[in-house]
Amino acid sequence: MIHLVLNSPKQLDILTDNAIMLQVKAGDVEKMGLLFERYHRALYNYLFHMTRQKEVSEDIVQNTFFRMLKYRQSFTGKGEFRTWMYHVARNVMNDHFRKNKRTPVHQDLADLEERIDGSISPDDFSGKKEELKRLGEALMELDGNTRELLILCRFQGLKYQEIARILDISEGAVKVRVHRALHQLKDQYFKVTC
């Protein structure tokens, strides 16, 4: 029997997310750091788009990874790690707002400004900043489920199949809901700009 010893960072990069999580499940909890490095930015972006609160989003990211570690035995490896991670993150976020008896409605414009490319001209920056502000306002006017669907699909780049597993609905339902959500966002955007 041949055992592969992975010592170099390059060798660790070739491990799939599922393989790493299965190692974490088997007791090698230090490998969770690899998954954190791969996904904490994407998870933060998802949570920030949902909450519009920088500190809350950072806390939920940390709590999500803690919960994945705590409940690592529930990871079966049959589905994609990323799908399981977003499912856990949704639960952590919902628990946070249920515990604090409020919904994510605050908009942190400083974070939106940080996301704008620093290489654009000052005039373009001002226009882009205003456009992002209106888009953020329109997005926040949507109900939470619709907003989450658009964030997962358009901002996080998840496939319809992954979103279906996260939301526990059919892929066809995801397609229909995304189509409707885009129309709702468009309507809200024009209301905000008028």
pLDDT digits (tens, 9 = 90+) for 9-50: 445 556 899 999 999 999 999 999 999 999 999 999 999 989
108: helix, coil or strand? coil
Give the predicted TM-score (pTM) of the model: 0.71
Question: How many domains, in total, are found in the chain?
Answer: 2
Residues 72 and 131 in one domain: no
Given the structure tokens 């904490």, which residue do they identify? 40
- Residue 158: domain span: 126-194
112: helix, coil or strand? helix
Rounded to the nearest 10 degrees, how much is the dihedral formed by the CA atoms of 159, 163, 169, 172? -20
* Cα–Cα distance for residue pair 144/31, rounded to 1 Å: 33
Domain-terminating residue out of 49, 77, 106: 106
Residues 77 and 134 in one domain: no
CATH of the domain at 171: 1.10.10.10
Report the alpha-carbon angle 148-156-79, nearest 5.
90
Domain-terminating residue out of 74, 106, 138: 106
pLDDT bracket for residue 131 (50, 70, 90): confident
* Cα–Cα distance for residue pair 8/14, rounded to 1 Å: 11
pLDDT in tens, 56-106: 999 999 999 999 999 999 999 898 999 999 999 999 999 998 888 755 444
CATH of the domain at 40: 1.10.1740.10
